[in-house]
Amino acid sequence: MAAKKNNQSNSVKDINYYKKKFWRIFAYSLLGVLAFFLFASWGLFGSMPSFEDLENPDSNLATEIISSDGVVIGKYFKTNRSQLKYSDLPKNLVDALVATEDARFYEHSGIDGRGTLRAAFSLGTNGGASTITQQLAKQLFHRGGSSFLPFRIVQKIKEWIIAIRLERQYTKNEILAMYCNVYDFGNYAVGVSSAAQTYFSKDPKDLTIDESAILVGMFNNSSLYNPLRNPVGVKNRRDVVLGQMVKAKMITKSEKEKYQALPIALKFKLESHREGTATYFREYLRDYMKKWVAENKKPDGSDYDIYKDGLKIYTTIDSRMQLHAEEAVSEHMKNLQQQFFIEMKTNKNAPFVNITQAETDRIIMQAMKNSTRWALMKEMDKSDEDIIASFKVKTKMRVFTWKGERDTVMTPLDSIRYFKHFLQSGLMAMEPQTGNIKAWVGGINYKYFQYDHVGQGARQVGSTFKPFVYATAIEQLNMSPCDSILDGPFMIHKGRHNVTADWEPRNSDNRYRGMVTLKQGLANSINTVSAKLIDRTGPEAVVELTHKLGVKTEIPAQPSIALGAVDITVEDMVAAYSTFANQGVYVKPQFLSRIENKSGEVIYEPIPESHDVLNKDIAFAVIKLLEGVTETGSGARLRTEGGGSGDNRWTGYPYMFRNPIAGKTGTTQNQSDGWFMGMVPNLVTGVWVGCEDRSARFKSLTYGQGATAALPIWGYFMKLCYADPGLQVSKSEFERPANLSIKVDCYSRPAVVKDTTQTDQNTDEFEL
């Protein structure tokens, strides 16, 4: 009996001993875990984000370029990521994300206890335990995972701590938006905004349920479920997401079946600075922003970074008008290029015309030295002889054609000649009253031709310079468009206006018309009239007025400038002509509306610049002169429908405009440059066409004159603009000043005119 009692007593002692040991171990373990959490939160196992870091996580945000009508037309980025607010996310995407990634997202505070226990007991075979908040923490602060178990445990605990802090700092909606903004979807698309554009070419708000399900499926593993590489896997994963949405009662079973029956339909477009809309403008803006960040600092004195600070650059460009301009340039240049290739087939030195072999060799050598191949081989310490020899070896390459890129084999030397065949173009459209640039097309294809023919390239303007001479004459000599002047032989003798030899300008058709009005003189681009006017005003007065009109080019004070022997950019020409349309007030071209930081605060707003140049009466008189060009002169084909010489390349003809149009064609010597400047009351557009090298050109005026080379782009562009009522491009008369003191109504405009450009086609060619 005593032995039995002793055994019971020992059993009780053993139980108590193990109880105490258990609770001691439990307490120490609990304290250890708590200490581990504390040490982790204090940063003893690696730094932890501060509250300031949580408020401003270090995440690269692309700078967005936004048009005046609210469209993102481009980005500058190292990481292609744009910031979205929760309100910008489509509901179907949010529903799919929560249903698939974290069904109890709205119930927990960063850590899902139930999910964690489930994952622990199933050893992860029954799904992971990471909540959306934990995944966000990992994306923001611990992207790189570790395969070493102890380090992985430390990382997981740190994710829990950060997740709890994030839940305290942000609302559930803000956490969802942040997660959607930081996830990397591959193909340089970070965040839902970039992913929607990259894979579907649409804004997030326009995503359909099945498209949202595809993106949500990629949250699991964007490399594995990449729709370009694994369409079958992506479809299966999409169907899983749709199934989860049914479980969460976010869509019906019939909706799920409908969307599961759909194929994976992508509209993939890799965002690149070399492709897309307004490419030339975006590069011009990039150069401007480099200077801007050097002159404008953040409040803390540090520099802005346009590639990661998430700036929003609001521009004056209208995305609709920009697309119309690009279409007009593309369609006409494609058409005109066919004719150029036809002409060059019989030219042994194509595309160059009437130049010596030495001049040709100089052009080709300069092109070789400007090439990437030359620069790379120079870095490798190759001799000039070795480099030149490499240009004669055939190699695989991809070249530009108007039918799309083409893979071919040719020598780099042949490729230089090939690319020099291509006609280039520059177009800029601007509101004359505000100076807001609405469209900017610097060339035919930025990927292959980076030179910007709007902002960079100054080219000889030909007869489009003549309105500056006429404006000076009206101002200085009190002349009117209806005053008469003799079109006859004329000479400025040596010594007058500092000419070094007798100068006798001739009309290119070698005929004289006798007495003509100034309006007739400009409409028919009569050289002797322009020469007589500059002789009376003096070249200095013309140069002074031209500079007041905004032309920055250095202009020689010589009589020959009256015929357009001056190099000016498209941008400056548009600004100058806009002064006439704006009643004599020059407004500096403006391409920026404002710049905002990533928080939406305005950090820069440009101040418009303007000054008076001419009084309203003189400006209106010049407008009436320019209207004559499109009524009976070299621009009359804008109104005709009968065709004419070379009309197979009048892209978009007939244009059949009936509204007032002020315009001027221009063709330089030997057809190296073709111009058209066109104006309606609220839009001034300048167009230039020519080859990169001035010696590459059409042989005759039929296709080389401005009326054929450049005017059709303007006509095509304006037809598109008028067909787009949202643009509200004016068809009204130019505003007539009250109490107009200058006679401008010389004769009434006929309702229908016959295009005489084919018979007077030489009127734009200047003879010196």
> Within this chain, do residues 402 and 488 fall inside the same structural domain, yes or no?
no
> Is the pLDDT confidence value at 50 over 70?
no
Q: How confident is the model at residue 761 (pLDDT cuts 50, 70, 90)?
A: very low
Rounded CA gap, 568 and 494, in Å?
Answer: 27
Rounded CA gap, 266 and 152, in Å?
Answer: 37
Instruction: Give the CA distances from residue 638 to residues 27, 61, 231, 678, in Å, rounded to whole numbers and listed in that order.
Output: 92, 47, 51, 11
Q: How confident is the model at residue 765 (pLDDT cuts 50, 70, 90)?
A: very low
Rounded mean pLDDT, 66-85: 91
Helix (H) or strand (E) holding 421: none
Domain that holds residue 37: 6-44
How many domains does the structure of the chain reveal?
A: 4
Tell me, what's the pLDDT at 542?
Answer: 98
Asked, for residue 342, whether it belongs to a domain, the answer is: no
pLDDT in tens, 239-276: 999 999 999 999 999 999 999 999 999 999 887 777 88
> Within this chain, do residues 655 and 754 fall inside the same structural domain, yes or no?
yes
Asked, for residue 324, whether it belongs to a domain, the answer is: no
> Within this chain, do residues 406 and 427 fall inside the same structural domain, yes or no?
no
Indicate if the alpha-carbon torsion angle 48, 54, 58, 60 is positive or negative: positive
Asked, for residue 336, whether it belongs to a domain, the answer is: no
Virtual torsion, Cα 584, 585, 590, 594, nearest 10 deg: -150
pLDDT in tens, 224-233: 999 999 999 9
> Within this chain, do residues 125 and 216 fall inside the same structural domain, yes or no?
yes
> Is the pLDDT confidence value at 7 over 50?
yes
The CATH number covering residue 157 comes to 1.10.3810.10
What is the DSSP-derived secondary structure letter of residue 549?
T
Half-sphere exposure of 539 (CA within 13 A, CB side): 18
Rounded mean pLDDT, 114-122: 54
Rounded mean pLDDT, 494-499: 93
> Within this chain, do residues 393 and 449 fall inside the same structural domain, yes or no?
no
> Within this chain, do residues 402 and 433 fall inside the same structural domain, yes or no?
no
> Within this chain, do residues 638 and 555 fall inside the same structural domain, yes or no?
yes
> Is the pLDDT confidence value at 122 over 90?
no
Picking from 362, 385, 410, the residue at the C-terminal end of a domain is: 410
Count of Cβ atoms closer than 10 Å to residue 606 Cβ = 14
Q: What percent of the chain has pLDDT over 90?
A: 73
Q: How confident is the model at residue 10 (pLDDT cuts 50, 70, 90)?
A: low
Selection from 560, 500, 496 nearest residue 527 by Cα: 560
Tell me, what's the pLDDT at 38?
Answer: 52
The CATH number covering residue 613 comes to 3.40.710.10
Do β-strands 63-66 and 592-596 pair in parallel, antiparallel, or remain unpaired?
Answer: unpaired
> Within this chain, do residues 400 and 262 fall inside the same structural domain, yes or no?
no
Asked, for residue 673, whether it belongs to a domain, the answer is: yes
Q: How confident is the model at residue 320 (pLDDT cuts 50, 70, 90)?
A: very high
Rounded mean pLDDT, 50-61: 62
> Within this chain, do residues 406 and 446 fall inside the same structural domain, yes or no?
no
Selection from 51, 89, 469, 76 nearest residue 282 by Cα: 76
Collapsing DSSP states into helix, strand and coil, what is residue 493?
coil
395 strand-pairing partners? 410
> Is the pLDDT confidence value at 116 over 50?
yes
pLDDT in tens, 408-460: 999 999 999 999 999 999 999 999 999 999 999 999 999 999 999 999 989 99
Asked, for residue 653, whether it belongs to a domain, the answer is: yes
Asked, for residue 529, whether it belongs to a domain, the answer is: yes
pLDDT in tens, 683-730: 999 999 999 999 999 999 999 999 999 999 999 999 999 999 999 999
> Within this chain, do residues 606 and 584 fall inside the same structural domain, yes or no?
yes
Picking from 270, 299, 323, the residue at the C-terminal end of a domain is: 270
Selection from 706, 647, 703, 695 nearest residue 670 by Cα: 695
Tell me, what's the pLDDT at 53?
Answer: 54
> Is the pLDDT confidence value at 755 over 60?
no
Mean pLDDT of the chain: 88
485 strand-pairing partners? 516
> Within this chain, do residues 253 and 191 fall inside the same structural domain, yes or no?
yes
> Within this chain, do residues 397 and 463 fall inside the same structural domain, yes or no?
no
Cis peptide before 608 (omega within 30 of 0): no
Tell me, what's the pLDDT at 682?
Answer: 98
Q: How confident is the model at residue 754 (pLDDT cuts 50, 70, 90)?
A: very low
